[in-house]
Structure 1
């Protein structure tokens, strides 16, 4: 790196797309996951799995790492 400086003048959409692209390229590990958040993710996944077995569909969201990466624009963009 020769120098670092903030990019001023980027509109909101360009900033959002840059963030989404960065997370997609580097992975969800860039986000501030805590052990508690990963445990919550596992609990929701279990509830979803049990719900699917009982009803062939689930009201619980798919928040697996793969699903989160596939839907970055939907949930990370607004954040």
Structure 2
């Protein structure tokens, strides 16, 4: 559950993201919005893709399909130190 404080909207967002390793797809077609100034918990059973999603959000893993956005800009467009 995400409980948002008053804000201007989602800072981190995925659009139709499919994530996995090599040929093994972990999760398909994810649309996620993480609002600014909020605390968000990602919960689920073992092996459902929680850590894989976090890796995609952190640019450690490139999504198979879809886009990860930070402030409306593709996360891959940022330099590593930004």
Q: Could you say which structure has the larger radius of gyration?
A: 1
TM-score, reference length from structure 2: 0.22
Is the helix fraction higher in 1 or 2? 1
Is the strand fraction higher in 1 or 2? 2
- Between 1 and 2, higher relative CO (CA 8 Å, sep ≥ 6) is seen in 2
